[in-house]
Structure 1
Amino acid sequence: MTRPWFAADLETAATFWRILRRDGVTLGFTSHDRDLWFDGVLHRASPGMVPSSIRKCADFEPDSAEVRGSLSHEAIDSADLAAGRFDGAQVRIGLVDWDSLERDVLYAGTIGAITEEDGAFSADLISRKAELHRDPTPRTSPTCRAVFCGPGCNLNPWKFTREFRLAAVDAGANTVRFAETLDAALYAGGTLRWMDGPQAGLTIGAIGGDTTGGLLLDTPIDTGIAPGTPALLREGCAHTLGTCAHRFGNAVNFRGEPHLPGNDMLTRYPDPIQ
């Protein structure tokens, strides 16, 4: 820490918490009675939103914390929670001197389970030490384990990403059609990221095409998205060796064992000699 806290009889200290959502939005809050600006983020006064006690330990057990608050604040509402805008968001909780703006981060993690009841929400926070419990050893699989255009795959994601503009939405079928012609088969298993509108910044999975030339999505579409809204579409990958080699020319980075015998070998019997 940069300074000892609560060492004097009178302290100008307040708590702050910062939420970094995956859609690129950063929200800051403080228990102080006025807004505070530091680290390039406006931390809004929100006395009704408080972090619980933070438990930190020196061993490998994950630290625990929880945030509770009211949905009355304009920055957090039930629609955004239901849309998943806060799922997996990064969280920083700390102390700030509201006079000198000295601050210390006491907890860093991500948002886990979120519950909502009677106009209030509660969010469990997952410590970064939880990553130490993940098994780093990969498991054998006939398909590629790497995320398309991610680490291990090593392809340039922008080479397989194009911008399209929305032409129409079919909310009943959960499909979208674009003004430009696209091969829906290329984007099966890929992603769509809205660049504007009520779902701006959200990344949605693409399942495949339909008979009308639309693209079927795996997340409910907001009917308020207007025609002409731009979206970034990234192609999908079947994660097979054939797709990797012939479509992308990337077999050297294939992270799978397509020729490894499976468990069905245990049930096979030798053919009798005729």
Structure 2
Amino acid sequence: MTVTTIARAWMVRRGDGMVLGFTDHDAALTFGGITFRPDHGMSARALVQATGLSVDNSEAEGALSDDSITEKDVLAGRWDGAEVKMWEVDWADVARRRLVFAGSLGEIARSQGAFRAELRGLSEPLNMARGRVFHPRCSARLGDGRCKLALTGETFVAEARITTIEDGRILRFANFPVYEAGWFERGSLNVLSGEADGLRATIKNDTALPGGLREIELWQGLGITPAAADRVRLVAGCDKRAATCREKFGNFVNFRGFPHLPSEDWIMAPQAGYRHG
């Protein structure tokens, strides 16, 4: 009878430095300063690796648990882009091992106490478009290193406590600071307390109501629904237009678009090139 001593071991490292190890062996394995546990974590389908630049076609599956990969952390995006390595290892002698996959976690889906995550190989970034896009609207993200706008102070950031919430997406506030209607549309909402602490969503509609009331509608629910009295931070939204950059944010010197580019209609019109050539 032939007995194999080969097991698989996984290492997952989040962006904040947290490291977890898992194995499909029935006992813990330790190497490289990491303990790979058999009782929680991940499994994976067979790897499909190509010689070109295609994504390594595989998925990792695992259980959501309080002491390993929690639903809250998944919803908060803390596992997005986490580094992943997988070894085939001889559990009788862990020094005999072979690295068979290195990459990162891609899209993560969850359901019924479990998660499923796409695995992306090291070649994945090479498939991404590079270079600058020439477009009338700004290509920077509000507050990033290219935008250079400091999102501090009461002008662009507001904190408030939820008064009521409807359908998990419509949040209402009382005694809200005075801002123009729509000031936070396309902006973000970050939960600062309660069960949903750390979760983030994009704002779809921002409606100012009489008597200092405010209604914020999200594009989709947060997964873990905040409760009344939970504290949130709202960040002003940007529609990427030059006029908004100049008038709302006073940051036109850092505008990363090309507002004077001719429109597609101008380019495609049969007579336009002749008249303006």
Taking structure 2 as the reference length, what is the TM-score of the superposition? 0.70
Task: Give the number of aligned pairs.
Answer: 258
Whether the aligned pair in 2 keeps the contact of 1:110 and 1:128 (CA below 8 Å) is no
Alpha-carbon distance in 2 for matches of 1:179, 1:73: 36
How far 1:210 moved relative to its partner?
A: 3.0
Unaligned runs of 5+ in 1: 1-8
How far 1:93 moved relative to its partner?
A: 2.5
Unaligned runs of 5+ in 2: 273-277
Corresponding residue for residue 17 of structure 1 = 11
Corresponding residue for residue 3 of structure 1 = none
Work out the percentage of aligned pairs sharing the same amino acid.
24
1:17-74: CA deviation from partner (whole Å, max 9, x where unpaired) = 32638xx7957241255678999998654367323444667764444442133x4745
Corresponding residue for residue 181 of structure 1 = 176
Whether the aligned pair in 1 keeps the contact of 2:200 and 2:222 (CA below 8 Å) is no
Alpha-carbon distance in 2 for matches of 1:36, 1:162: 48
Q: State the secondary structure of the residue aligned to 2:61.
A: strand
Corresponding residue for residue 235 of structure 1 = 236
Q: State the secondary structure of the residue aligned to 1:132.
A: helix
Q: State the secondary structure of the residue aligned to 2:183.
A: helix
Q: State the secondary structure of the residue aligned to 1:162.
A: strand
Q: State the secondary structure of the residue aligned to 1:225.
A: coil
Whether the aligned pair in 1 keeps the contact of 2:10 and 2:21 (CA below 8 Å) is yes
1:178-201: CA deviation from partner (whole Å, max 9, x where unpaired) = 355132522111001112233222
Q: Does 1:208 align with 2:208?
A: no
Structure 1 121/187 Cα, relative in aligned 2: closer, same or farther at 3 Å? closer
How far 1:157 moved relative to its partner?
A: 3.0
Q: What amino acid maps onto 1:219 in structure 2?
A: Q
Q: State the secondary structure of the residue aligned to 1:185.
A: coil
Q: State the secondary structure of the residue aligned to 1:210.
A: strand
Alpha-carbon distance in 2 for matches of 1:58, 1:223: 41
**1:103-122 maps to which residues of 2 (within 5 A)?**
106-112=101-107, 114=109, 122=116
Q: 1:168 aligns with which of 157, 161, 164?
A: 164
Corresponding residue for residue 61 of structure 2 = 68
Whether the aligned pair in 1 keeps the contact of 2:75 and 2:222 (CA below 8 Å) is no
How far 1:84 moved relative to its partner?
A: 7.6
Structure 1 168/88 Cα, relative in aligned 2: closer, same or farther at 3 Å? same
Q: What amino acid maps onto 1:185 in structure 2?
A: G
Alpha-carbon distance in 2 for matches of 1:28, 1:152: 34
Structure 1 48/38 Cα, relative in aligned 2: closer, same or farther at 3 Å? closer
Q: State the secondary structure of the residue aligned to 1:66.
A: strand
How far 1:109 moved relative to its partner?
A: 1.2
**1:79-228 maps to which residues of 2 (within 5 A)?**
85=77, 88-95=80-87, 106-112=101-107, 114=109, 122-159=116-153, 160-171=156-167, 174-182=169-177, 183=179, 184-210=181-207, 212=209, 213-220=214-221, 225-228=226-229
Corresponding residue for residue 28 of structure 1 = 20
Alpha-carbon distance in 1 for matches of 2:102, 2:85: 5
